[in-house]
């Protein structure tokens, strides 16, 4: 947040900042979806929230390319 303020991305008129990014773990073929949000209140306070979800986007598993459902079953 300090870097955003220093580079004038955030000023006194900013009400919310949302940062989203994805990280892939190639060993497990799982994606981590991260959402960090900051909201500035009228009384000068800051509310924040962090959400992390693990997502399996690849439907094929293993060298045999077996089709699996989201629960890992065949």
Look at the chain and report how many structural domains it folds into. Answer: 1
Q: How far apart are CA 8 and CA 73, in angstroms?
A: 50
Structural domain includes residue 42: yes
User: Is the pTM above the cut of 0.85?
Assistant: no
Under DSSP, the state recorded for 62 is T
CATH of the domain at 22: 2.20.25
pLDDT (tens, 9 = 90+) of the chain, 74 residues, equals 789 889 998 888 889 999 999 999 888 888 899 999 999 888 989 999 999 998 887 766 555 544 444 554 44
- Tell me whether residue 49 is in a domain: yes
Task: Say if 74 falls within a structural domain.
Answer: no
């Amino acid at each position: 947040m300090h870097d955003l303020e220093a580079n004038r991305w955030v000023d006194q008129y900013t009400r919310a900042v949302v940062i989203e990014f994805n990280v892939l773990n190639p060993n497990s073929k799982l994606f981590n979806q991260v959402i960090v949000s900051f909201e500035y209140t009228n009384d000068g306070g800051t509310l924040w929230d962090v959400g992390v979800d693990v997502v399996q986007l690849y439907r094929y598993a293993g060298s045999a390319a077996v089709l699996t459902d989201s629960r890992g079953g065949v």
